[in-house]
Structure 1
Amino acid sequence: MSEPSSIAAKPTPPPKAKPPRAKRVRDSARTKAEILVAGRAEFAERGFEGARVDAIAALAGANKRLLYHYYGNKEELYRAVLLDAYQEIRRGERALSLDQFGPAEAMDRLVRFTFRHFLANPWFPRLLNTENIENARFLKTMTDIQALHSPLVGQITTIVERGAEIGVFRRDVDPVQLYISIAALGFFYVSNMATLSVIFARDLSGIDMVQEREAQAVQMVLDYLRTKPVGQG
């Protein structure tokens, strides 16, 4: 009979306990922002009627239930996207701090900012086109929209008045009409870039063409502000 082995068998070590799974912290502000950005893309691409909540939730990487929780329904999300779009451009205008510049330079900066904002955010003209197709029916329900734009009108009024006081700008300028012209110079170029490029056989997205157009937009606005009305000496 063989003797028992003097070497004891090593006990099998118990399996290591798995570290507890870290709970995913819900960042409501981040999720809302991601849904808003996804909604912006979907509404700009497909319009209000064509946009789908499922597509927005998928693009945001969010549960559709959260989308409804934060925004209520498709209509309210669209209103939030539209308001955010206007707030974004207004924030950019305020950040220009135009009061610290002379009237001509201040207007130069405003025109360039507006042009570049449309250029850098081609979804914005598409979103505005969508709301115009809807005959501004959602915008009409947003009670704060006029108050949001009032500071811009006041800012333009101040720039024109400062220019008139030192004799470089004309006085008979409607600030609303002036801003419509400023916005149109950038909006039309961006929204019609594809068709105009084909019609005139030029790549309007090329840097040289973009820079030339921006410079011309500035010149057109400044020339208008410096031109005296017919009949005035």
Structure 2
Amino acid sequence: MNDTPGSNTRSKKTYDAAKTKETILDAAELIFAEQGYSAARVDAIAKASGYNKSLIYQYYQDKIGLYTEVVKRADQLGDRVLGEVIGQLQMDESLTTDATKFKRYITTIVKHSYQFMLDHPRFMKIFAWEAAEEWKTWNQITYRPDDISLFLEIAKKAKQNGLLRSDLDPTFFPLFLLNNVFFATLTLSRFKSFGSGTDSSAEQDIELAKEQTASFIICGLMNPSYL
């Protein structure tokens, strides 16, 4: 039978281990975001998590292993959140032949990616540290985030059907799409309400920034005849 003392003990240990790992990852995410990979110390992560360093090594082997799990968790969460809003759009066979649908697709990606970065500022800081350090640590980790493959395949089809600019190499479609969102989000607080001419609320500023970013990206990527 399952209702044995040993069975209950094993279940409790499994639950506690999962919770402990999440707590450690939360602490690691905080330290990596604030200090970058190079400056972050496992001692600081252990202190922030409330667990000793030996337990962290038991779960994640070393600092790069811990960092890998932080990146993996962030990437998988981002994929899940974005997939929930563009999944149906990507299944539409006319996506890469219908300019209106394609523009809506880009706009949806931009707005939700923008909001995701705002909702998870630690991820944004980690990406900024990586960019500043020329992605050296990112390129060492065993987990390979894939933000490009699906967008690239869609871009190739859109280019064949004339939806993209004739001088645009489809390879750069995901690069321009994702990077423009990232840097627009990163600099939002610096240029808050810049050029709006009104005393708009923070929420209105964010929505305006999303709209303007999407419009800019669409104008840069799509065939001008469809704008």
Q: Which has the higher contact order (CA 8 A, sep 6+)?
A: 2
Cα deviation per residue 1:14-34 (whole Å; 9 max; x = unaligned)? xxxxxxxx9793322222222
Code of the residue aligned with 1:59 in structure 2: it is A
Residue number in structure 2 paired with 1:212: 208
Task: Find the partner of 2:175 among 173, 180, 183.
Answer: 180
TM-score, normalisation: structure 1: 0.71
Cα deviation per residue 1:52-97 (whole Å; 9 max; x = unaligned)? 3233223333333221111112222122222332333233333320
Unaligned runs of 5+ in 2: 1-7, 93-100
The root-mean-square deviation of aligned C-alpha atoms, in Å, is: 3.4
Q: How far is the alpha carbon of 1:35 from its aligned partner?
A: 1.4
Q: Does 1:77 align with 2:66?
A: yes
Q: Does 1:99 align with 2:94?
A: no
Larger Rg: 1
Q: How far is the alpha carbon of 1:171 from its aligned partner?
A: 5.3
Residue number in structure 1 paired with 2:218: 222
Cα deviation per residue 1:120-171 (whole Å; 9 max; x = unaligned)? 212122101222333322222235526564234224444x25xx64x65545
Cα deviation per residue 1:168-214 (whole Å; 9 max; x = unaligned)? 55455434422232223332233223433498899998112111111
Task: Find the partner of 1:59 among 41, 48, 56.
Answer: 48
Q: Does 1:110 align with 2:102?
A: no
In 1: Cα distance, 2:20 partner to 2:43 partner:
15
User: Residues 197 and 103 of structure 1: is their aligned pair in 2 closer, same or farther, counting only changes over 3 Å?
Assistant: closer
Structure 1 runs of 4+ aligned residues shifted over 6 Å read 198-205
User: Residues 149 and 185 of structure 1: is their aligned pair in 2 closer, same or farther, counting only changes over 3 Å?
Assistant: closer
In 2: Cα distance, 1:45 partner to 1:205 partner:
28
In 2: Cα distance, 1:148 partner to 1:200 partner:
32
Q: Percent identity?
A: 25
In 1: Cα distance, 2:179 partner to 2:78 partner:
15
Q: How far is the alpha carbon of 1:39 from its aligned partner?
A: 0.8
- Larger helix percent: 2
Aligned length: 204
Contact 1:114–1:182 (CA under 8 A) maintained in structure 2 = no
Residue number in structure 1 paired with 2:135: 136
Contact 1:107–1:222 (CA under 8 A) maintained in structure 2 = yes
1:118-129 residue pairs with structure 2 within 5 A? 118-129=117-128
Q: Does 1:88 align with 2:77?
A: yes
In 2: Cα distance, 1:47 partner to 1:205 partner:
32
User: Residues 65 and 146 of structure 1: is their aligned pair in 2 closer, same or farther, counting only changes over 3 Å?
Assistant: closer
In 1: Cα distance, 2:142 partner to 2:201 partner:
37
